């Protein structure tokens, strides 16, 4: 088991040259894709250290994305439970309303630097598609987003957004017509077009070098948050937490705290409960296996096929986690806890009513954990990565829970 004292040089040493975090990660690729991924890897290693790349990215973050995003002290929410203070890193205030733009702008800038004309990706709920279409518009790149026909029908507003931003939304019409088929279709397109196009992944998942690249682009979240928190309070938080789907906003938050005496908690979706198909808690119920070209902890059947997953937050329903999370748990540095749909919904309404911040359903899972933490820790502080805003979720929430009064009453809150 490792402690924070073992993490001083961690990001330089992990992943290794082949993309492994311990036994997790790597690049298990179709032979046709090997040259394309090697090109991305080499270009990235070369370009990421160049002063021009770093300066461009800094300027984009400041002028286009609105970084740094603030850290905010939730005084009214904190008062409800104990003397433990809850703070938020406001990634919901990023342009487009979530952390995903942090890595999409980085990936698109890389595409520009290596002279590609097009960026390609798949999307499930449409959040990654919208962030990438935004980046494509900014850089003047073509953008093909592969999306299952079923998801296209379900996620109408995001489909419209992508089209407004000038992206091609390519319907995927085979199989179950959802995310899995869209991933396959995007990879096939990349195979055909890799001389002029680059594939852009949506989280710290996929074959090497994506978990490394996306981590690097998200690192800014934790670096900013640590400095801001210390400036506000004079000390480090006792704990930091973030919701884990594929794991990008959480890896971004955790990086700067790994070598500090701070408890770190990743929060998974427990959905409706522990039965297969009712949750997407890969760390809690998963086993070691291969998914989408890398080794990690995944929810899989006896044949290694991904199991069906569910969460009220569509950005969290992935049957695996980024390989770095699998490693950070194995070596004991990060703990993973699961939160149900209902706990997340209570947190959603409490944060909205007590602080005037409507969180994304994904981020509500992290807030729900912070509430549990505050109940168990009468003093100290916890810093939550609020990965996105909830505007995208309000119609669905209102239909299911109204304004939340009943749910809050059921849980003993008079607000």
Ligand X SMILES: *Cc1c(COP(=O)(O)O)cnc(C)c1O
- Tell me the window of 35-43, 113-121, 157-165, 358-366 that interacts with ligand X (CB under 6 A): 358-366
Chosen residue from 141, 198, 243, 256 binding ligand X by CB under 6 A: 243
Chosen residue from 122, 268, 362, 393 binding ligand X by CB under 6 A: 362
Backbone angles phi, psi at 262, to 5 degrees: -130, 135
Burial class (CB in 10 A: 0-12, 13-18, 19+), 64: middle
Nearer to ligand X, 65 or 248 (CB): 248
Burial class (CB in 10 A: 0-12, 13-18, 19+), 95: middle
CB of 218 to ligand X, least distance (A): 8
Active site residue 74: yes
CB of 190 to ligand X, least distance (A): 20
Output the CA torsion sign for 36, 38, 41, 47.
Answer: negative
Residues recorded for the chain: 415
Burial class (CB in 10 A: 0-12, 13-18, 19+), 335: middle
Contacts of 343 (CB under 8 A, 6+ apart): 365, 368, 372
Asked if residue 248 binds ligand X (CB under 6 A), the reply is yes
Looking up tokens 């959802």 gives 178
Active site residue 99: yes
Nearer to ligand X, 19 or 388 (CB): 388
Cα separation, 412 vs 403, in Å, equals 16
CB closest to ligand X, residue no: 388
80-99 residues near ligand X, rule: CB under 6 A: 98
Asked if residue 122 binds ligand X (CB under 6 A), the reply is no
CB of 383 to ligand X, least distance (A): 16
Q: 389: left (phi > 0), else alpha (psi -120 to 50), else beta?
A: beta
Give the HSE-up count for residue 395: Cα atoms under 13 Å, Cβ half-sphere. Answer: 5
Asked if residue 387 binds ligand X (CB under 6 A), the reply is yes
Asked if residue 271 binds ligand X (CB under 6 A), the reply is no
Contacts of 326 (CB under 8 A, 6+ apart): 21, 24, 283, 288, 296, 297
Chosen residue from 65, 102, 155, 363 binding ligand X by CB under 6 A: 363
Asked if residue 300 binds ligand X (CB under 6 A), the reply is no
Binding mask 191-230 for ligand X (x = CB under 6 A): ------------x---------------------------
Nearer to ligand X, 390 or 404 (CB): 390
Asked if residue 246 binds ligand X (CB under 6 A), the reply is yes
Strand ranges, E, within 14-82: 20-21, 24-25, 71-74
Binding mask 313-352 for ligand X (x = CB under 6 A): --xx------------------------------------
Cα separation, 44 vs 37, in Å, equals 10
Chosen residue from 249, 298, 300, 340 binding ligand X by CB under 6 A: 249
Catalytic, out of 48, 74, 84, 200: 74
Asked if residue 364 binds ligand X (CB under 6 A), the reply is no
Cα separation, 85 vs 103, in Å, equals 30
> 73: which strand partners?
87
| Residues found near ligand X in the complex (CB under 6 A) | 98, 100, 127, 203, 243-250, 315-316, 360, 362-363, 387-388
Catalytic residues: 74, 99
């Amino acid at each position: 088991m490792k402690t924070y004292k073992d993490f001083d040089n961690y990001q330089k040493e992990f992943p290794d040259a082949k993309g492994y975090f311990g036994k997790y990660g790597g690049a298990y690729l179709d032979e046709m894709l090997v040259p394309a991924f090697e090109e991305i890897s080499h270009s990235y290693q070369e370009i990421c250290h160049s002063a021009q790349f770093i300066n461009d990215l800094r300027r984009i973050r400041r002028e286009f994305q609105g970084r740094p995003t603030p850290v905010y002290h939730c005084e009214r929410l904190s008062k409800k439970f104990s003397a433990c203070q809850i703070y938020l890193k406001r990634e919901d205030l990023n342009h487009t309303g979530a952390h995903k733009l942090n890595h999409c702008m980085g990936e698109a800038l890389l595409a520009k630097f290596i002279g590609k004309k097009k960026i390609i990706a798949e999307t499930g709920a449409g959040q990654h598609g919208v962030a990438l279409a935004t980046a494509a518009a900014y850089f003047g790149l073509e953008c093909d987003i592969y999306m299952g026909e079923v998801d296209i029908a379900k996620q109408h507003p995001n489909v419209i957004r992508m089209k407004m931003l000038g992206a091609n939304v390519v319907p995927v019409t085979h199989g179950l017509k959802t995310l899995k088929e869209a991933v396959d279709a995007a990879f096939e397109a990349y195979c055909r077009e890799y001389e002029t196009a680059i594939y852009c992944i949506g989280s710290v998942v996929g074959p090497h070098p994506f978990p490394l690249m996306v981590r690097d682009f998200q690192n800014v979240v934790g670096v900013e948050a640590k400095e801001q928190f210390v400036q506000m309070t004079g000390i480090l938080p006792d704990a930091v937490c973030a919701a884990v789907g594929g794991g990008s906003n959480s890896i971004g938050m955790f990086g700067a705290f790994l070598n500090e005496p701070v408890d770190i908690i990743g929060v998974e979706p427990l959905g409706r409960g522990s039965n297969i198909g009712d949750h997407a808690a890969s760390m809690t119920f998963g086993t070691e296996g291969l998914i989408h070209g890398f080794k990690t902890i995944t929810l899989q059947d006896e044949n290694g096929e991904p199991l069906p997953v569910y969460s009220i937050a569509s950005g969290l329903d992935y049957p695996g986690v980024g390989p770095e999370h699998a490693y950070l748990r194995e070596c004991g540095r990060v703990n993973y806890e699961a939160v149900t749909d209902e706990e997340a919904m209570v947190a959603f309404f409490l944060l909205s009513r007590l602080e005037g911040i409507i969180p994304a359903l994904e981020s509500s899972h992290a807030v729900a954990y912070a509430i549990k933490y505050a109940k168990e820790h009468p003093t100290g502080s916890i810093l939550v990565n609020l990965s996105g805003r909830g505007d995208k979720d309000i119609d669905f929430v209102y239909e299911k829970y109204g304004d939340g009064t009943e749910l809050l009453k059921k849980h003993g809150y008079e607000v």
